[in-house]
A and B are shown apart, each in its own frame.
Chain A
Amino acid sequence: MRLFFAGLSIITGLATATVSVPVKADPAPDIGNWQSVLEQARGQTVYWHAWGGEPRINDYIAWAGAQVEERYGVTVKQVKLSDTSDAVAKVLSEKTAGVNDGGAVDMIWINGENFAAMKRNDLLFGPWVEETPNFDYVDVKGKPTVINDFTVPTQGLEAPWGMAQVSFYYDSARLDDVPKSAQGLLEWLVKHPGRFTYPQPPNYMGSTFLKQILTELVADPKVLQQPADEADAKKVLAPLWGYLDDLQPLLWRDGQAYPQNGASLRTMMADNEIDIAFSFSSGEVSSAIEAMELPDTVRSYVFDKGTLGNTNFVAIPYNASAKAGAVVLADFLMSPEAQLRKQDPQYWGADTVLAMDKLPADMQKAFANLDIGIASLAPADRGTVLGEPHPSWMELVETEWQKRYGVVQ
């Protein structure tokens, strides 16, 4: 065995000497001096790890990359992921191997639990966000989630680049009347058993549904903004379990099988397996109609007491190789121009993080003139935006759900 290891080190040693990538330390850019950031960024290549499941979004990212290349000489390459956790695992493996410089991931599209986990484990570079020029346009007052990601303060470690809010959708050709509350949904399901379901937690969308119900049923929603261990969790969650005990047998396949993710819900709508579904963006529903995944009679709506909303971010790992380039790219993504295109359902259809009253007049007009798409909700129709509970609640709910409903055999 010793011989093998000796051989191994010789071989790998030779290989390392000849072909290994020269890992160059990338000094932290001085964000306060924007000119120096731009200089440092020029010529850098930013490997942006982002979920790649939607061709339209990939196109948008490619467009943003081309713009940044043209204006600042920063090359952007999207690494298309099927799951953000792959990028998190990558950074973690680099930390384990002691690669604290010249890492492979320059920027991650991230939010919520993944952000909380990376922040907690010191895997992020920053703070850098609040000193970037375009952050001035961000609607910090009106959209508090742009600096509080699932109640966790972002502290300048991630830059907001899109808003999301839960909305439900249905086919108006099949359904006239839709339930607009948790209780209403239950009553509707009694009459139409099996015509609704949610993705199996801990899938993101599935957990979101549980949180939506929890937020509506809990006596005092404020308690959810604090970590779960500071409250009487059992008592807080009791109404949710009472509700689900009634709901589960009425679900599609009697709650014995679940769709995998939010995208599966769209397919199930088209297959006429369910009548009501939900997503994190009504713009996504319009896009799906355009992509012929859904019929053009589908419409979105929200619950009377409001639905959960949050923000999407981009963050830079602590060991990124092109930090300045990533900062420049993130700044561009927050620019009125990039945000305008992002909100246009022709390209993507995701809501802006910017405050209209801070924008120049012509930009305000351009935003106002956008055609948001037939199944998208105008800001006025979106009702109350409810805050996401603290991530610890989500973990608690997921674990408990698995115990109660995850084993039905």
Chain B
Amino acid sequence: MLRFVPALTIILMIGPVCAGLIGTILPAFGYLPALGGNRFSVGPWQDLLAQPGLGISMRLSLVNGLAATLISLGVVVLFCAAWQGTRIFSVMQRLLSPILSVPHAAAAFGLAFLIAPSGWIVRAIAPLGGWDRPPDIVTLQDPLGMALIVGLVVKEIPFLLLMTLAALPQADADRTRKIALTLGYGRVVGWLKTVLPRLYPQIRLPVLAVLAYSTSVVDVAMILGPTTPAPLAVRILGWLSDPDLSHRFLASAGAVLQLLLVLFAIGIWFIGERLMAHWGCRWAQNGARGRGDDPIRTLAAGAAIVSALAVFLGLAGLLVWSVAGYWAFPEFLPRSFSLRLWMREYHTLGAALMTTLLIAGLSVLVAICLVLGCLENETRRSYRPGAGALVLIYVPLLMPQISFMFGLQVFFTGLGLERSLMSVVVAHLIFVLPYVFLSLADPFRALDPRYGQTALCLGASPMRVFWSVRLPLLTRAVLTAFAVGIAVSVGQYLPTLLIGAGRFATVTTEAVALASGGDRRMIGIYGILQMILPFAGFAVSLLIPVFLFRHRRGMGTQNRI
């Protein structure tokens, strides 16, 4: 049975993923019969290259993606190095789940309201300066995309931190750290020299996912990013939704370019990894103990706390907006409050939440079973069947979703599978599976094989080894993958709308439609509503281990104060 799981995974994924790819690549070369494109040509590419400011758009995407990834990884690594095993570390851990469950767009809206020239921070100091008009300064949509980088960093830090937490047990971080301390290393330097080299390979896939996401992000970029010109992915969205349908050719070429750009960014990252490994090796060998690391520790804690604070204050802003009456600049709080909008959403809320939960639950369940099956099969056979083909499942992460959707729609429609719950679940699976895989794969592979071998020697069947040894040891990683999967599924807008043909109204389809009306109150309400399910998922994933392992000291070590 087990040996077929990788094949099954590929079978389930290959159709939709190839369809999505083909549906982008063919129009990029002029082929789309429904629009009269019957012959291949390089016309779309010529159109694309003739777009004004294309180079700047590409630069923005590339630089922002790399910078956001580098900064968030840097903060997470430094913070772990400086504070792992302390009280502040466990406090941050508890702050994680609320931040992770905030949808990207809602976090970006919140941040925008915080740092805009007419935003909360300025409103707080406006009375001092006697301002009745917001200062004419650029804080959002700045030409270099700094605001966009900040917006990405504050959301990616918690994600990477969570991934790191799930991986720490496999890196045996606690004991390693203690030995380094005993040898006289400073906290930060000791951690970087001993734990990081074992940890990084385990969080590498999530880091690459962050890189791909940041390079091709659309929703956050539309809120915080520059517009003259915008990053490439935002412009692709513009071309795809242009009423002039012939723009789809140009948009498809743009999507292929975006794919290449993401691959290029990953290539640069790989080179950077090599350089870091080379340099880091020599640094580790030089034996410097680096004991005076207090400033670095303060800096790391400061960066982590400021980023968490930014999200929380932004969220508080949304919460206030959701009950606000008229609220003008420079008032710090609204003139009046009203629950009117909450009341009107209350009635439809239950049904939307149930639909969301149903789709998310099914797709995540399937994803986890498939991923565990693949990984277990790989462990038992100690080789990776179809490892090359499994790369396919990451393709959806590398492309702008909207360009991917066209081929996907054609695929499901052609099969006559559209509009059914099953097709929506499969469509979600395409985007959930890669995240579940990358959350689970590295910790699973890093699990010490001697546990399994010992159990086998004691006469346990392979099945029993899986259920009684490996799975319990991986509880934390599995639950983390589960929570990440739920968050990803809940966040899906286009797949739900387009593959479900509007038959499935989820919290997110309602939210995105209502957010297009631009009223901050509605954005606030749905931003918060969208948090409910992911929040529950993350909370459960943190609470279950606490309950399960209340009598297992060793299992709790990594997360103990």
Judge whether B328 and A405 touch: CB under 8 Å.
no
- Given contacts A11-B12, A257-B141, whether A405 and B228 have CB atoms under 8 Å apart is yes
Partner of B56, one of A83, A272, A293, A409: A409
Segment 118-134 of B: residues with Cβ below 8 Å from A: 118, 132-134
Judge whether B518 and A261 touch: CB under 8 Å.
yes
Our count of residue pairs bridging A and B at CB distance below 8 angstroms stands at 230
Could you tell me the distance between the alpha carbons of A93 and B409 in the complex, rounded to whole angstroms?
A: 6
Could you tell me the distance between the alpha carbons of A260 and B411 in the complex, rounded to whole angstroms?
A: 33
Stretch in B236-244, B272-280, B466-474, B529-537 touching the partner: B236-244
Stretch in A17-25, A34-42, A125-133, A367-375 touching the partner: A17-25
**B414 adjacent to chain A (CB < 8 Å):** yes
Interface size bracket, B side: 35 or more
**B270 adjacent to chain A (CB < 8 Å):** no
Closest to B119 in A: A271
Taking the closest CB of chain B, its distance from the CB of A122, in whole angstroms, is: 10
* B419 contact set on A, CB distance < 8 A: 21, 104
**B416 adjacent to chain A (CB < 8 Å):** yes
Judge whether A15 and B422 touch: CB under 8 Å.
yes
**A143 adjacent to chain B (CB < 8 Å):** no
Partner of A55, one of B134, B417, B514: B514
Closest to B123 in A: A271
Judge whether B143 and A104 touch: CB under 8 Å.
no
* B505 contact set on A, CB distance < 8 A: 80
Could you tell me the distance between the alpha carbons of A169 and B113 in the complex, rounded to whole angstroms?
A: 24
Judge whether B52 and A292 touch: CB under 8 Å.
no
Judge whether A7 and B413 touch: CB under 8 Å.
no
**A291 adjacent to chain B (CB < 8 Å):** yes
Judge whether A96 and B245 touch: CB under 8 Å.
no
Closest to B7 in A: A7
Judge whether A273 and B118 touch: CB under 8 Å.
yes
Stretch in B30-38, B81-89, B301-309 touching the partner: B30-38
Partner of A54, one of B326, B405, B410, B517: B517
**A313 adjacent to chain B (CB < 8 Å):** no
Could you tell me the distance between the alpha carbons of A258 and B222 in the complex, rounded to whole angstroms?
A: 11
Judge whether B243 and A116 touch: CB under 8 Å.
yes
Judge whether B410 and A395 touch: CB under 8 Å.
no
Judge whether A20 and B420 touch: CB under 8 Å.
yes
Could you tell me the distance between the alpha carbons of A401 and B398 in the complex, rounded to whole angstroms?
A: 31
Judge whether A8 and B14 touch: CB under 8 Å.
yes
- Given contacts A92-B245, A402-B52, whether A12 and B514 have CB atoms under 8 Å apart is no
Segment 256-303 of A: residues with Cβ below 8 Å from B: 256-258, 260-264, 266-267, 270-273, 291-295
The listed residue with most B CB atoms (<10 A of its CB), out of A54, A88, A89, A258, is A89
Could you tell me the distance between the alpha carbons of A258 and B242 in the complex, rounded to whole angstroms?
A: 18
Judge whether B228 and A263 touch: CB under 8 Å.
no
- Given contacts A202-B238, A409-B143, whether A272 and B133 have CB atoms under 8 Å apart is yes
Judge whether B228 and A406 touch: CB under 8 Å.
yes
Partner of A407, one of B56, B242, B415: B56
Taking the closest CB of chain A, its distance from the CB of B123, in whole angstroms, is: 10
**B519 adjacent to chain A (CB < 8 Å):** yes
Partner of B518, one of A51, A81, A92, A266: A266
Segment 105-134 of A: residues with Cβ below 8 Å from B: 105, 112-114, 116-117, 121
Partner of B414, one of A98, A253, A271, A403: A98
* B238 contact set on A, CB distance < 8 A: 202
- Given contacts A272-B133, A273-B134, A406-B52, whether A93 and B228 have CB atoms under 8 Å apart is no
**B286 adjacent to chain A (CB < 8 Å):** no
Could you tell me the distance between the alpha carbons of A268 and B328 in the complex, rounded to whole angstroms?
A: 10
Taking the closest CB of chain A, its distance from the CB of B11, in whole angstroms, is: 4
Taking the closest CB of chain B, its distance from the CB of A204, in whole angstroms, is: 9
Judge whether A99 and B243 touch: CB under 8 Å.
no
**B544 adjacent to chain A (CB < 8 Å):** no
* A3 contact set on B, CB distance < 8 A: 7
Per-position 1/0 for B326-340, Cβ under 8 A of A: 111110000010100
Judge whether A272 and B329 touch: CB under 8 Å.
yes
- Given contacts A4-B389, A11-B11, A113-B243, whether A99 and B518 have CB atoms under 8 Å apart is no
Closest to A1 in B: B389
Could you tell me the distance between the alpha carbons of A289 and B518 in the complex, rounded to whole angstroms?
A: 14
Taking the closest CB of chain B, its distance from the CB of A94, in whole angstroms, is: 5
* A19 contact set on B, CB distance < 8 A: 417, 420, 422
5 additional A-B pairs beyond A3-B7, A79-B501, A89-B498, beta carbons within 8 Å, are A47-B503, A52-B516, A82-B513, A263-B518, A273-B117
Q: Can you sample 11 A-B contacts with CB below 8 Å?
A: A4-B10, A7-B7, A7-B11, A53-B518, A85-B240, A85-B242, A95-B34, A121-B245, A253-B141, A272-B132, A294-B326
The 4 closest A-B pairs by CB, nearest first: A263-B518, A79-B502, A53-B517, A113-B243
